[in-house]
Amino acid sequence: MTVDQEALKKILSAPPKSPHLQLELEQLGRGERVDITDSWKINSARRSPHDFSAMVREVTIDPQAKRLAIIIAGEQFKEIALQTPAVLLRIKQELYDFFSAIHEEEWMDPYLRFVHLYECVCSELVDDPFMGQQTRPLLKAEITTRELDQYKGRFFDAGSLRTTDLRSAHSGPKS
């Protein structure tokens, strides 16, 4: 039995397909909010579009709001670091690159008709002696699909990326 080498290469180079895709698209078509975290992890398994992909905790699409919401948590998100303008700018640049990479992923195409806004909440990992490892949201960034299309292949000033400081919403009383 001979194996068609070209056909085998094509199969191996194709990204894995989520078994949930059809159901997710049906739910989105009905206007339901859908958690696509499993599909994200399946599609990112072979080739991650960005280093932040490995830190993804949750991905949802709300077709009513036309929003794809991502929650990430990692070591580089520290409350103290975000107080340094140079570090914050570097994180904003990484977030813009992350959004761009997601937007260019072929497996994302079926979802994009339900999305006009990408939103990412960056969380710090916190060790709690009683609860174990927890996450604390620090920063939310967002960009429209239109802006990503507009700046494709062009310079984007990462300092202009819309962000919201979430630290005050989760901190206790200040003395």
Confidence (pTM): 0.83
Provide the pLDDT for residue 120. 97
Provide the pLDDT for residue 165. 86
The pLDDT tens digits for 139-172 are: 999 999 999 999 998 999 999 999 888 886 544 4
Provide the pLDDT for residue 19. 82
Provide the pLDDT for residue 84. 85
Provide the pLDDT for residue 174. 33
The pLDDT tens digits for 26-66 are: 999 999 999 999 998 888 877 777 888 889 999 999 999 99
3-state DSSP of the chain: CCCCHHHHHHHHHCCCCCCCHHHHHHHHHCCCCEECHHHHHHHHCCCCCCHHHHHEEEEEEECCCCEEEEEEEECCCCCCHHHCHHHHHHHHHHHHHHHHHHHHCHHHHHHHCCCCEEEEEEEEEEEECCCEEEEEEEEEEEEEHHHHHHCCCCCCCHHHCEEEECHHHHCCCCC
The pLDDT tens digits for 84-133 are: 888 889 999 999 999 999 999 999 999 999 999 999 999 998 888 888 78
Distance, in Å, from the CA atom of 52 to the CA atom of 74, rounded to the nearest integer, reads: 8
Sheet bearing 132-144, strands edge to edge: 34-35, 56-62, 67-74, 117-128, 132-144, 162-165
